[in-house]
Amino acid sequence: MFDAETFIAECRAAVAGDDSHKSVRELVARAVSDPAAVIKGLGEPARGGVETLYNDADLTILNLVWAPRMTLQPHNHEMWAVIGLYTGREDNIFWRRTGEDGSRVEAAGAKSLGEKEAVPLGRDIIHSVTNPLPRCTGAIHVYGGDFFAPGRSEWDPETHLEQPYDVERTLAVFEEANTLLATG
């Protein structure tokens, strides 16, 4: 069974030894290679949400569940990240800054992640995420810093204009998706 406390301790040790994503990526890949164990340890994803498993200045670990057909607007992290899926699918669109002041974004690429995949994202990546499936998608997200600290950005999904990242707005997107799931 996946043990969150052991995983946290291993990630903390990995970051203490190397502040890049390389060692953490291996830990996440090992964890999600056994999806049934992760589900047994964290629970079957039944609704969208962000569960903080660990958070400090150098490391944040989340159990992130995307509700069916949920989409999150373009955003950045300002730190490296490793995303590992233990069930479902996550479609990422990668964006690049445009315009004279760089406050807008345009699509620059895409990658679909599936069960048992673990991928790193660089500190400068801007991405949006969609769960295209009619069921929940579960993923372990590990960040090389405090995910909830101020200073990040998100982009309006219609205008593509940059604005400060708003945690409350993001959590509201999860709740809206859960409402659709409940009435679906």
Express each pLDDT in 128-161 by its tens digit.
999 999 999 999 999 999 999 999 999 999 999 9
Q: How far apart are CA 180 and CA 167, in angstroms?
A: 20
Give residue limits of the domains in the chain.
4-183
Give the model's confidence band at 114: pLDDT under 50 very low, under 70 low, under 90 confident, else very high.
Answer: very high
pLDDT at 183 over 90: no
pLDDT reported for residue 20: 81
The dihedral of CA 24, 93, 86, 166: what is its sign?
Answer: positive
Confidence (pLDDT) at 19: 76
Q: What is residue 8's predicted lDDT score, i.e. its pLDDT?
A: 98
User: Quick check: 146 and 60 in contact, CB under 8 A?
Assistant: yes
Q: Report helix angle 35-42 to 22-32, nearest 10.
A: 90
Fill in the amino acid letter for 165.
Answer: Y
Q: Tens digit of pLDDT for each residue in 9-50?
A: 999 999 999 878 899 999 999 999 999 999 999 999 999 999
pLDDT tens digits along 63-99: 999 999 999 999 999 999 999 999 999 999 999 999 8
Model pLDDT, residue 63: 98
Say which CATH class 4-183 falls into.
mainly beta
